[in-house]
Protein backbone atom coordinates (compact mmCIF):
# COMPACT_ATOMS: atom_id res chain seq x y z
CA UNK A 1 0.00 0.00 0.00
CA UNK A 2 1.31 3.36 -0.94
CA UNK A 3 2.25 5.59 1.92
CA UNK A 4 3.30 9.22 1.85
CA UNK A 5 6.32 10.57 3.59
CA UNK A 6 7.27 14.07 4.49
CA UNK A 7 10.87 14.84 3.86
CA UNK A 8 12.25 17.99 5.32
CA UNK A 9 13.72 20.24 2.74
CA UNK A 10 11.85 18.80 -0.20
CA UNK A 11 10.19 22.08 -0.92
CA UNK A 12 13.36 24.07 -0.54
CA UNK A 13 14.65 22.91 -3.88
CA UNK A 14 11.56 21.71 -5.66
CA UNK A 15 11.49 23.93 -8.69
CA UNK A 16 13.66 24.68 -11.67
CA UNK A 17 16.23 27.24 -10.59
CA UNK A 18 15.52 30.51 -12.31
CA UNK A 19 17.69 31.52 -15.16
CA UNK A 20 20.65 33.41 -13.79
CA UNK A 21 24.38 33.89 -13.64
CA UNK A 22 25.88 32.74 -16.89
CA UNK A 23 27.77 35.67 -18.27
CA UNK A 24 28.05 34.88 -21.95
CA UNK A 25 30.06 36.05 -24.89
CA UNK A 26 26.99 37.78 -26.26
CA UNK A 27 26.67 39.95 -23.22
CA UNK A 28 27.39 39.52 -19.60
CA UNK A 29 24.29 39.18 -17.49
CA UNK A 30 24.06 39.44 -13.78
CA UNK A 31 22.18 37.05 -11.57
CA UNK A 32 19.30 38.70 -9.79
CA UNK A 33 20.20 38.56 -6.15
CA UNK A 34 17.62 40.96 -4.84
CA UNK A 35 20.24 42.52 -2.61
CA UNK A 36 22.98 44.20 -4.54
CA UNK A 37 24.02 44.73 -8.09
CA UNK A 38 27.29 44.37 -9.88
CA UNK A 39 27.98 45.66 -13.33
CA UNK A 40 30.33 43.45 -15.24
CA UNK A 41 32.92 45.19 -17.32
CA UNK A 42 33.14 44.10 -20.93
CA UNK A 43 35.26 46.84 -22.29
CA UNK A 44 38.27 48.93 -21.47
CA UNK A 45 36.32 51.98 -20.39
CA UNK A 46 32.88 51.73 -18.88
CA UNK A 47 33.27 54.83 -16.82
CA UNK A 48 32.90 52.68 -13.72
CA UNK A 49 36.52 51.77 -13.25
CA UNK A 50 36.97 54.07 -10.30
CA UNK A 51 39.57 54.03 -7.57
CA UNK A 52 38.83 53.22 -3.95
CA UNK A 53 37.48 56.16 -1.99
CA UNK A 54 40.07 55.67 0.70
CA UNK A 55 43.54 54.21 0.84
CA UNK A 56 45.50 52.56 3.60
CA UNK A 57 49.27 53.02 3.50
CA UNK A 58 51.30 50.42 5.43
CA UNK A 59 54.94 50.78 6.42
CA UNK A 60 57.26 48.51 8.37
CA UNK A 61 60.92 48.83 9.12
CA UNK A 62 63.05 46.59 11.27
CA UNK A 63 66.43 45.29 12.27
CA UNK A 64 67.77 41.92 13.38
CA UNK A 65 70.99 41.74 15.41
CA UNK A 66 72.25 38.19 15.35
CA UNK A 67 74.71 36.45 17.64
CA UNK A 68 77.22 35.09 18.28
CA UNK A 69 79.50 37.32 16.28
CA UNK A 70 80.16 35.89 12.82
CA UNK A 71 77.81 32.95 13.30
CA UNK A 72 76.62 30.28 13.17
CA UNK A 73 73.81 32.23 14.74
CA UNK A 74 71.89 30.92 17.70
CA UNK A 75 70.08 34.06 18.83
CA UNK A 76 68.55 37.21 17.45
CA UNK A 77 67.22 40.38 19.02
CA UNK A 78 65.72 43.29 17.20
CA UNK A 79 62.82 45.59 16.65
CA UNK A 80 60.09 46.32 14.14
CA UNK A 81 58.20 49.56 13.83
CA UNK A 82 54.93 49.63 11.96
CA UNK A 83 52.77 52.54 10.82
CA UNK A 84 49.45 52.75 9.04
CA UNK A 85 48.09 55.91 7.47
CA UNK A 86 44.63 56.59 6.08
CA UNK A 87 44.67 58.58 2.83
CA UNK A 88 48.10 59.99 3.58
CA UNK A 89 51.55 58.74 2.72
CA UNK A 90 54.10 58.62 5.49
CA UNK A 91 56.31 61.69 5.37
CA UNK A 92 59.82 60.94 4.17
CA UNK A 93 62.34 60.79 6.96
CA UNK A 94 66.01 60.01 7.06
CA UNK A 95 65.40 57.32 9.65
CA UNK A 96 62.57 55.44 11.25
CA UNK A 97 61.64 58.27 13.55
CA UNK A 98 58.56 58.21 15.65
CA UNK A 99 55.67 59.93 13.92
CA UNK A 100 54.78 63.40 15.04
CA UNK A 101 51.74 63.69 17.32
CA UNK A 102 48.57 64.37 15.33
CA UNK A 103 50.34 63.52 12.11
CA UNK A 104 47.73 63.65 9.34
CA UNK A 105 46.22 60.28 8.53
CA UNK A 106 48.16 58.29 11.13
CA UNK A 107 45.85 55.59 12.53
CA UNK A 108 48.33 53.05 13.87
CA UNK A 109 51.87 53.25 15.18
CA UNK A 110 53.45 50.31 16.95
CA UNK A 111 56.86 49.14 18.04
CA UNK A 112 57.63 45.47 18.54
CA UNK A 113 60.58 43.95 20.37
CA UNK A 114 61.92 40.79 18.79
CA UNK A 115 63.69 37.96 20.59
CA UNK A 116 64.46 34.72 18.84
CA UNK A 117 66.41 31.50 18.85
CA UNK A 118 67.70 29.45 15.96
CA UNK A 119 65.12 27.21 14.33
CA UNK A 120 65.81 23.68 13.22
CA UNK A 121 63.29 24.18 10.43
CA UNK A 122 64.84 25.97 7.48
CA UNK A 123 63.41 27.28 4.25
CA UNK A 124 64.95 25.34 1.34
CA UNK A 125 67.17 28.20 0.20
CA UNK A 126 67.88 29.67 3.61
CA UNK A 127 71.16 29.98 5.43
CA UNK A 128 69.58 30.22 8.88
CA UNK A 129 66.17 30.71 10.49
CA UNK A 130 64.81 31.86 13.82
CA UNK A 131 61.69 31.40 15.89
CA UNK A 132 61.02 34.99 16.93
CA UNK A 133 58.69 36.20 19.63
CA UNK A 134 56.93 39.50 18.99
CA UNK A 135 56.26 41.72 21.98
CA UNK A 136 54.38 44.97 21.58
CA UNK A 137 56.42 47.53 23.51
CA UNK A 138 54.92 50.80 22.29
CA UNK A 139 51.69 51.89 20.64
CA UNK A 140 48.27 50.33 20.27
CA UNK A 141 47.75 47.64 17.65
CA UNK A 142 43.96 47.68 17.96
CA UNK A 143 43.35 50.15 15.10
CA UNK A 144 45.90 48.47 12.80
CA UNK A 145 44.38 46.91 9.66
CA UNK A 146 47.32 44.89 8.32
CA UNK A 147 45.98 41.31 8.33
CA UNK A 148 49.51 39.93 8.71
CA UNK A 149 50.40 41.91 11.83
CA UNK A 150 50.97 39.44 14.70
CA UNK A 151 49.51 39.61 18.18
CA UNK A 152 51.85 40.40 21.04
CA UNK A 153 53.35 37.14 22.28
CA UNK A 154 53.14 35.36 18.94
CA UNK A 155 56.16 33.33 17.95
CA UNK A 156 56.78 33.38 14.20
CA UNK A 157 59.44 31.67 12.12
CA UNK A 158 61.60 33.54 9.63
CA UNK A 159 64.61 32.53 7.57
CA UNK A 160 67.28 34.38 5.62
CA UNK A 161 67.62 33.62 1.92
CA UNK A 162 71.01 35.06 1.02
CA UNK A 163 70.62 34.29 -2.68
CA UNK A 164 67.46 36.32 -3.12
CA UNK A 165 68.32 38.71 -0.27
CA UNK A 166 64.94 38.19 1.25
CA UNK A 167 63.62 37.17 4.65
CA UNK A 168 61.14 34.35 4.22
CA UNK A 169 58.26 33.59 6.59
CA UNK A 170 56.99 30.14 7.47
CA UNK A 171 53.30 31.00 7.31
CA UNK A 172 51.43 29.40 10.18
CA UNK A 173 54.52 27.39 11.07
CA UNK A 174 53.27 24.80 8.61
CA UNK A 175 56.35 24.65 6.42
CA UNK A 176 54.92 27.03 3.85
CA UNK A 177 57.68 29.58 3.25
CA UNK A 178 56.88 32.88 1.56
CA UNK A 179 59.07 35.90 0.75
CA UNK A 180 58.28 38.49 3.42
CA UNK A 181 60.83 41.30 3.49
CA UNK A 182 63.56 42.34 1.14
CA UNK A 183 66.57 42.88 3.40
CA UNK A 184 70.12 44.09 3.49
CA UNK A 185 72.74 42.20 5.46
CA UNK A 186 75.66 43.99 7.02
CA UNK A 187 77.81 41.64 9.04
CA UNK A 188 75.61 40.22 11.80
CA UNK A 189 72.75 42.64 11.17
CA UNK A 190 69.80 42.41 8.82
CA UNK A 191 67.86 45.57 8.02
CA UNK A 192 64.52 45.35 6.27
CA UNK A 193 61.52 47.45 5.39
CA UNK A 194 58.23 47.04 3.60
CA UNK A 195 55.41 49.21 2.38
CA UNK A 196 52.10 48.61 0.67
CA UNK A 197 48.94 50.41 -0.33
CA UNK A 198 45.42 49.03 -0.20
CA UNK A 199 41.97 50.41 -0.65
CA UNK A 200 40.07 50.49 2.61
CA UNK A 201 36.65 51.23 4.04
CA UNK A 202 37.33 53.34 7.13
CA UNK A 203 35.61 52.36 10.32
CA UNK A 204 33.12 54.97 11.43
CA UNK A 205 35.26 56.34 14.22
CA UNK A 206 38.30 56.84 12.02
Please give the residues from 3 up to 32 whose contact with other proteins meets the rule CB under 8 A: 3-10, 12-17, 20-25, 28, 31
What is the spatial distance between Cα 173 and Cα 123, in angstroms, rounded to a whole number?
11
Q: Which of 58, 64, 62 is nearest to 143 (CA)?
A: 58
Tell whether residue 125 is a contact of other proteins (CB under 8 A): no
**Least distance (Å) between residue 30 CB and other proteins:** 8
Q: Which are the contacts of 110, defined by CB distance < 8 A and separation ≥ 6?
A: 81, 82, 83, 136, 138, 139, 140, 141, 144, 149
What is the spatial distance between Cα 152 and Cα 137, in angstroms, rounded to a whole number?
9
Q: Which is nearer to other proteins, 20 or 68 (CB)?
A: 20
Q: Which is nearer to other proteins, 5 or 102 (CB)?
A: 5
Please, what's the b/e burial string for 155-182 (b: 16 or more CB within 10 A of its CB; e: otherwise)?
Answer: ebbbbbbeeeebbbbbeeeeeebeebbe
Q: Which of 190, 187, 148 is nearest to 165 (CA)?
A: 190
Q: Which is nearer to other proteins, 163 or 174 (CB)?
A: 174
Tell whether residue 102 is a contact of other proteins (CB under 8 A): no
Q: Which is nearer to other proteins, 8 or 102 (CB)?
A: 8
Using CB under 8 A as the binding rule, the residues of this chain from 38 to 67 that contact other proteins are 38-44, 46, 48-49, 51-52, 56, 58, 61
Tell whether residue 147 is a contact of other proteins (CB under 8 A): yes
**The binder of other proteins chosen from 64, 128, 160, 181 (CB under 8 A):** 181
**The binder of other proteins chosen from 79, 133, 188, 198 (CB under 8 A):** 198
Amino acid sequence: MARSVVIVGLLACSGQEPDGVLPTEEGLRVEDTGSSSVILDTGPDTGLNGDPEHFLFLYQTGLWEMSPFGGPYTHVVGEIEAWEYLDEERPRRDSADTAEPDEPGLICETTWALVGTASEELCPACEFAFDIEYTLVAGDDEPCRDPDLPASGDVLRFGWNETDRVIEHDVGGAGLWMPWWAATRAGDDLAFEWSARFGVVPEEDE
